[in-house]
Chain A
Amino acid sequence: MPISTAEVDHVALLARLKLSPEEKAAYTGQLNAILEYMDKLNALDTTDVEPTAHVLPLRNVFRDDVARPGLPREKALAGAPAASEGQFKVPRVV
């Protein structure tokens, strides 16, 4: 069992997910089955293999530093669950 219920709790917290007891039990079992399948990868020796994070040979893609029109503030806020005085509104943080 690569992953315990306590670890499922920890990962859920990191992912900002609140899981019901049923979900916790189901995910613990399913994640273990999936991770056991992943162990297949350990059959490969990758000591000297470079990782591929991305397939294109791209490095820092820059645009000219010229101001251009962006999304107007009211359009950017139009889909927000709560907005006030031209800004996103969230519950009190401090």
Chain B
Amino acid sequence: MDLHYLTAHELGELLQHREVSAVELTEAIIDRIEAVDGRVQAYLTRTAAEALEQAKAVDAARARGEDPGPLAGVPMALKDNLCTEGVRTTCASRMLAGWVPPYDATVVRRLKEAGAVMLGKLNMDEFAMGSSTENSGFFPTRNPWDLERVPGGSSGGSVAAVAAGEACYTLGSDTGGSIRQPAAFCGVVGMKPTYGRVSRYGLVAFASSLDQIGPITRDVTDCALVLGIIAGHDPMDSTSADLPVPDYRAALRPDIKGLKIGIPREYFGTGIEPEVENVVRRAIAKLEELGAVCEETSLPHTEYALPAYYLVAPAEASSNLARYDGVGFGLRVPGRDIIEMYMNTRSQGFGPEVKRRIMLGTYALSSGYYDAYYLKALKVRTLIRRDFEAAFARYDILATPATPTVAFRLGEKAGDPLAMYLSDLCTIPVNMAGLPAISLPCGYSQGLPVGLQLIGKAFDEATLLRVAYAFEQATEYHRRRPELGVA
């Protein structure tokens, strides 16, 4: 039995029935990492010794007759922009190469309380800025389905680790698609919850009005279980919503008869690969076959979401990243005076894409350009929200491709920032409106995974999960695993 390719809930059941111990399972996944990470390069930091200690504690709790929870003892890992007390957290930046946080992010604390075994920290585009993980300040991660291709980004390490059997589930963060786009590229399930559903306390800030943390898993049941652990109000994040968290696993009924699904035509426009469109249209036909009522609709401002996003997100980033000044934490490069110290530190600590976005955001916020760029983008954001509000007056969910293409080759878009930005065409509008969305495997094109994106009403993750579950139960795409040249 290949433990490393089972789902987290299957492994949780094996643990509960004592068919395997948490220590044995953790050792198996550590072996798997040893076997494949040299090629996939998902991990920035590994914490095998700590993981085995955590596994021992879960085994001991079960031996005492306690029930530490359905995912207790299941090994997982975290995107390296989630603060972990005592374990270095780099955001894949030279700026934070040696930084060890003094506290745990709220999601990390909640996972620890649920008995999670943490294997380490995962690669990403520097400060989550990118769509391919090639912007990591350390090394690129590779797509387990084709090592010459990117895993997507920015949560490329988190997604590749799940796809390659190097972690049973992971957390990522999604500002413009950074969970859903790589999940689609690597054939796994990735969810961006509603803005405010999951506390951002301890997530290193990129664009604070857009960032959300979410689960990356091998199936929809795992997504529901992990979301249930990390969701909920947190007084440490003033934007976390004080709303009850439903039992997401109980929402997984494969019954979508009469459910109304809108298909926004703008997501099938220019730039989409014909074979990706075919695969997604077949997936929508499957939803119809299962009893959903699918209807073409329109979100007329879709084409403006990307330019508006690339003003709003860099503007917020330029403000958030002002804190990297060589004083409180991270890198310091000396200078003749304090201003030169700031400039030397920031110029040597940040990579090219981070600098580009800081420049863009600073320009958009600067005197004389604020109204023309930043304020304009915020007004367009209102129009994008209204499009979704109008659509959700008529539909329960919306279905679109998660990405316009399959995973591209390493280096293919590295020299052209705008071409890279366009790979988030289908995911960005959702962040601008603060809505929940999930990407799940819905087929293959050129042997590479294609993702179906389902977009839901604010705080209605339960319906999203139900539709995703119904699709998954009626198909086999989520059972396929990449070869990687090893058993």
Contact = CB atoms under 8 A, between A and B. Distances in A.
B429 interface: no
B206 to A, nearest CB: 15
A49 B385 contact: no
A48 B23 CA distance: 61
A79 B307 contact: no
A75 B356 contact: no
A3 B378 CA distance: 21
Contacts of B20: none
Given A51-B375, A58-B238, A79 B102 contact: yes
Interface in B350-408: 350, 352, 355-356, 358-360, 362-363, 366, 373, 375-383, 385
Contacts of A63: 235
A55 B207 CA distance: 13
B45 to A, nearest CB: 16
A11 B362 contact: yes
Interface residues of B, number: 67
A40 B100 contact: no
Interface string A55-82: 1101001010000000100011011111
A81 B330 contact: yes
Interface of B is mostly: helix
B358 A41 contact: no
B359 A27 contact: yes
A38 interface: yes
B344 interface: yes
Contact of A90 (B338, B346, B383): B338
B339 interface: yes
Interface residues on A, range: 35 or more
A79 B329 contact: yes
A23 interface: yes
Interface string A23-56: 1000100110111011011101010011111111
Interface of B: 99-103, 195-196, 209, 235, 238-239, 241, 301, 303-304, 307-308, 310-311, 318, 322, 325-332, 334-335, 337-339, 341-344, 346-347, 350, 352, 355-356, 358-360, 362-363, 366, 373, 375-383, 385, 417-418, 421, 433-434, 458
22 contacts: A8-B359, A16-B346, A17-B358, A18-B346, A19-B355, A30-B417, A31-B360, A34-B417, A40-B304, A41-B377, A41-B380, A51-B382, A52-B382, A55-B195, A56-B196, A71-B103, A79-B99, A79-B328, A80-B329, A88-B327, A90-B341, A91-B335
